[in-house]
Amino acid sequence: MSDVVDLDKALLRQLYCRMRLIRRFEETAEELYKRGTVVGLLHLYIGEEAVATGVCLALNEDDYITSTHRGHGHLIAKGGDVKRLLAELCGRVTGYCRGKGGSMHAADLRLGILGANGIVGGGFGIATGAALSAKKRNSGQVTVCFFGDGAANQGIFMEVMNMAALWQLPVVYVCENNHFGEYTRFDEATVASQPIGARAAAFGLPTVQVDGNDVIAVYKAAKEAVDRARAGGGPGFIEARTYRLRGHHMGDVGFGRRYRTKEELADRWRQEPVARFRAWLLENQVFSESELAEIEATVEAEMQEAVDYANGSPVPDLTELTEHVYA
């Protein structure tokens, strides 16, 4: 990480706070899943917190994001409500989708969060359409499209980059390269001799590859791309190189011991983004140990409030079984 502190202290505090909240949310969801309180599929974002956080804090409140099946971090980083998200995971009526959508369908339109998505690559069209709408309305809003390295191999990725480049849309495509697509390693599914950004560069998009476990590097790369898009400079592409520290989902027992070694996982834990940023904040004397402890206590209190809220909320009444659902 950079040894220069050139960001505002309030922003650095917010970056740490959001990353820590995402980590604690995911750990809590994992725990509640094991107890049977969280229902449905659960894809954890542990290890990737710096990407959502760095990118979303470079956005305005009315900017848009599209998310993925691994989407809790995106929603929380954009300012979404952890109480309603946890309640949704627990199938409670106070959740984002009245407890009927689960982990992969939360959206918060007031905050420009256009929704998680169980369809890999499902955000590409939505994000590009939102950017087209913003451009037509001259609203000054920028859209960020989060997607995985696996999703980069979906054909629609090429279609939207062509459109975005042709119409100079205010959209930033953020590829979260966490090195796996389900149980397959990145280089077994994707030509790894070329950066994924080479595909975007072929359409003329400015591209950048960034250490996705370095929240400051992510923030700066995102800020540059977002500012350029907002100023009329067209779409951008960021590949954030990170690592998925948990299994593909909760059913992937042993955190992927069939497709990676214990040593690889241990080595990646040593580079994990939350502890790394914490150490950086201390080393650079941005915050003292007691100031960090105070931030962490605030996060714990917010998580506890979310757990109480979810536990204290009822499941939807049987009479609304067929309401608010499309199929």
Chain positions contacting ligand TPP, by CB under 6 A: 68-70, 118-120, 148-151, 178, 180-182, 244, 248
Count each helix (H run) and each strand (E run) in the chain, helices first.
Answer: 12, 7
Q: Are 117 and 66 in contact (CB under 8 A)?
A: yes
Q: Which amino acid is at 289?
A: E
Minimal distance in Å, beta carbon 243 to ligand TPP? 10
Residue number of the CB atom closest to ligand TPP: 148
Q: How far apart are CA 48 and CA 35, in angstroms?
A: 24
Q: Are 75 and 82 in contact (CB under 8 A)?
A: no
Q: How far apart are CA 208 and CA 238, in angstroms?
A: 5
Q: Are 43 and 102 in contact (CB under 8 A)?
A: no
Minimal distance in Å, beta carbon 79 to ligand TPP? 22
∠ at Cα 147 (145, 148), nearest 5°? 160
Closest CB to ligand TPP among residues 134, 175:
175
Closest CB to ligand TPP among residues 20, 246:
246
Closest CB to ligand TPP among residues 45, 96:
45
∠ at Cα 289 (285, 294), nearest 5°? 115
Closest CA to 115 of 148, 155, 72: 72
Minimal distance in Å, beta carbon 47 to ligand TPP? 11
Minimal distance in Å, beta carbon 70 to ligand TPP? 4
Closest CB to ligand TPP among residues 126, 134:
126
Q: How far apart are CA 82 and CA 306, in angstroms?
A: 6
Q: Are 245 and 269 in contact (CB under 8 A)?
A: yes
Adjacent-strand bridge partners of 208: 238
Name 31's Cβ contacts closer than 8 Å, sequence gap at least 6. none
Closest CB to ligand TPP among residues 11, 119:
119
Minimal distance in Å, beta carbon 120 to ligand TPP? 4
Minimal distance in Å, beta carbon 92 to ligand TPP? 25
Q: Are 76 and 88 in contact (CB under 8 A)?
A: no
Minimal distance in Å, beta carbon 86 to ligand TPP? 20
Closest CB to ligand TPP among residues 68, 141:
68
Closest CB to ligand TPP among residues 39, 189:
189
Minimal distance in Å, beta carbon 200 to ligand TPP? 16
139: which 2 tokens? 């609203």
Closest CB to ligand TPP among residues 178, 213:
178
